[in-house]
């Protein structure tokens, strides 16, 4: 159900709006897609690609173009939502700071998305927002955490800043559920992720040509290409379901590009996440033995190329070998885990408050390897459960466990109950839920920059799970 607040005091003519903006806005809850949406998707591709031509020191220009594109599409929240998809992946690197408060690109796009939603509400003379449901446990948990943390916080300024960000996520959740209409929105999200992964992959190849294979290779704006595992699995599913052999061949080629780029990143966590998602997706998708040939062809080709590249680089062999043997980065992770547990022992029930984990983690970091700490830092637990545990104590840990459990559970129900018209998209959504949970075990997700992504996936699953129809 959509909650409607009729604005009887507002008096304007629809024709005047059309003349003013030279565009007819699309009603939020309209399930039809126009050709303009396809055009905008290619615009998004051009915007993302443009960053390759922009030096890191000039990244503010790319930020400007992103904002400009969103302003241009201000009358259509669905358009801005597509731009929002891609902004999430680079927001950690595209940001600026005001009064010690970090404002990311996704925060700015959120404000423009909110403005677009508000304009449409005025245009339709009613405020469109999804009503709270009985199964909105995640939102209830966020609210409880915020209230609890404000009482127990040791540094209320940091807590207030993070509470504002959390309430932004809450409103984003309900707003997204009013904008999302059908499974095509999920497909567009997957395609946007694939595009971003391919762009990062081509950038990685470019750095290999410049620097050689040795060392880690990261994506545009010197960021870790966190989207590549999801890009690879999404494209893999689209490859398996493709009937046209020519298009299938193109997708296979792009799969090889993503796979080789994944190994070149030397991201151990990225490799593990991809492997698990790949296995899960394959097991679910396979309905007959005939489809094994697709997997054999793709996996064999990618494995041969990747193994050749790894074996030719001593640094690559050493880094991937550290998954089993350990190393400096592994040791630092263990130090961070130890420090996090020490803080949780001191504040088991209250935590130190939202937004207060940085200083406390640094203060409790073991001093038996100061050189390692100075070299690699140690300002984050690199674990979502510990991150919530530091900030909110036992309550935070329970909430984090419940959040990911409920996300996986809903996406599994969507898959088994066939609530999406496309089973391929359902598998992709379930695999993504598994992947983001694994990601949370080695990184901070919700409270450290990727909260919008977590809320986006939650909105997807909640909207679909709450629908009694295959396509709502």
231-257 pLDDT tens trace:
999 999 998 888 888 988 899 899 989
List phi, psi (to 5°) of 181.
Answer: -115, -45
Q: Are residues 201 and 317 in the same domain?
A: yes
Domain enclosing residue 287, as ranges: 189-326
Point out the domain boundary residue: 260, 294, 326. Answer: 326
Q: Are residues 156 and 32 in the same domain?
A: no
Q: Are residues 267 and 354 in the same domain?
A: no
Residue 95: inside a domain, yes or no? yes
The token pair at 389 is: 């545990």
Q: Are residues 102 and 206 in the same domain?
A: no
Residue 111: inside a domain, yes or no? yes
Point out the domain boundary residue: 326, 355, 370. Answer: 326
User: Which residue's entry shows tokens 């990618």?
Assistant: 302
Report the DSSP pairing between strands 101-104 and 2-3: unpaired
Residue 434: the pLDDT is 93
Q: Are residues 50 and 153 in the same domain?
A: no
Residue 374: inside a domain, yes or no? yes
Q: Are residues 345 and 460 in the same domain?
A: yes
Q: Are residues 47 and 31 in the same domain?
A: yes
Structural domain count, the chain: 3
Q: Are residues 56 and 103 in the same domain?
A: yes
Residue 31: the pLDDT is 38
Give every residue of the chain whose pLDDT is below 50, as ranges. Answer: 1-33, 288-289, 312, 316-317, 320-326, 468-472
Residue 47: the pLDDT is 60
Q: What's the pTM? A: 0.79
* Contact call for residues 60 and 99 (beta carbons, < 8 A): no
Residue 331: inside a domain, yes or no? no
Residue 184: inside a domain, yes or no? no
Residues in the chain: 472
Residue 429: the pLDDT is 93
Q: Are residues 17 and 144 in the same domain?
A: no
- Give the C-alpha separation, 312 to 404, whole Å: 39
The token pair at 263 is: 């190994």
- The helix-helix angle for 314-325 and 268-285 (nearest 10°) equals 70
Q: Is 256 exposed, middle or buried, given 0-12, 13-18 or 19+ CB atoms closer than 10 A?
A: middle
Query: Rounded to a whole number, what is the largest CA-CA distance in the chain?
Result: 71
Q: Are residues 35 and 160 in the same domain?
A: no
- Give the C-alpha separation, 259 to 251, whole Å: 12
Q: Among residues 421, 432, 422, 438, which one has the least CA distance to residue 461?
A: 432
List phi, psi (to 5°) of 126.
Answer: -160, 145
Q: Are residues 51 and 168 in the same domain?
A: no
Q: What is the DSSP string of 205-267?
A: HHHHHHH-SSS----GGG---TTHHHHHHHHHHHHHH---HHHHHHHHHHHHHHHHHHHHHT-
Helices (H), 327-422: 328-346, 357-363, 370-376, 384-416
Residue 340: inside a domain, yes or no? yes
Q: Are residues 204 and 270 in the same domain?
A: yes
Residue 104, helix vs strand vs coil: strand
- Give the C-alpha separation, 308 to 315, whole Å: 14
């Amino acid at each position: 159900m959509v909650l409607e607040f009729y604005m009887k005091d507002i008096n304007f003519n629809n024709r005047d709006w059309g003349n003013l903006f030279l565009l007819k806005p699309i009603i939020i809850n309209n399930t039809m897609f126009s050709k303009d949406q396809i055009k905008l998707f290619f615009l998004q591709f051009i915007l993302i690609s443009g960053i390759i031509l922009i030096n890191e020191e000039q990244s503010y220009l790319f930020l400007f173009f992103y904002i400009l594109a969103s302003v241009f599409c201000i009358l259509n929240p669905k358009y801005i939502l597509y731009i929002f998809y891609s902004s999430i992946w680079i927001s950690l690197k595209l940001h600026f700071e005001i009064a010690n408060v970090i404002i990311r690109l996704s925060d700015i796009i959120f404000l423009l998305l909110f403005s677009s939603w508000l304009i449409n509400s005025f245009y339709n003379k009613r405020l469109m927002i999804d009503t709270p449901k009985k199964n909105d446990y995640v939102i209830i948990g966020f609210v409880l955490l915020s209230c609890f943390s404000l009482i127990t916080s040791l540094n209320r300024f940091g807590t207030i800043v993070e509470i504002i960000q959390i309430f932004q996520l809450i409103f984003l959740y309900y707003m997204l559920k009013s904008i999302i209409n059908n499974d095509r929105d999920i497909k567009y999200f997957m395609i946007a992720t694939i595009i971003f992964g391919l762009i990062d992959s081509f950038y990685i190849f470019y750095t290999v040509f410049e620097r050689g294979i040795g060392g880690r290779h990261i994506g545009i704006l010197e960021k870790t290409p966190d989207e590549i595992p999801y890009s690879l699995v999404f494209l893999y599913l689209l490859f398996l379901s493709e009937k046209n052999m020519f298009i299938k061949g193109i997708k296979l080629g792009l799969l090889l590009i993503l796979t080789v780029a994944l190994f070149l990143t030397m991201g151990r966590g990225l490799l593990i996440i991809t492997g698990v998602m790949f296995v899960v997706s394959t097991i679910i998708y396979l309905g007959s033995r005939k489809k094994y040939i697709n997997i054999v062809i793709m996996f064999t080709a990618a494995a041969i190329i990747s193994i050749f590249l790894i074996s030719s680089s001593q640094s690559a062999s050493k880094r991937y070998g550290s998954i089993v043997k350990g190393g400096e980065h592994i040791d630092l992770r263990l130090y961070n885990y130890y420090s996090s547990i020490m803080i949780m022992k001191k504040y088991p029930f209250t935590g130190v408050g939202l937004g207060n984990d940085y200083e406390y983690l640094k203060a409790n970091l073991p001093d038996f390897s100061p050189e390692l700490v100075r070299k690699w830092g140690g300002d984050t637990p690199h674990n979502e459960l510990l991150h919530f545990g530091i900030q909110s104590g036992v309550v935070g840990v329970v909430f984090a466990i419940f959040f990911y459990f409920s996300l996986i559970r809903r996406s599994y129900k969507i898959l088994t109950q066939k609530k999406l018209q496309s089973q391929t998209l359902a598998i992709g959504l379930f695999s993504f839920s598994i992947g983001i949970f694994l990601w949370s075990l080695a990184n901070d997700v919700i409270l450290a920059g990727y909260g919008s992504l977590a809320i986006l996936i939650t909105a997807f699953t909640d909207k679909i799970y709450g629908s009694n129809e295959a396509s709502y």
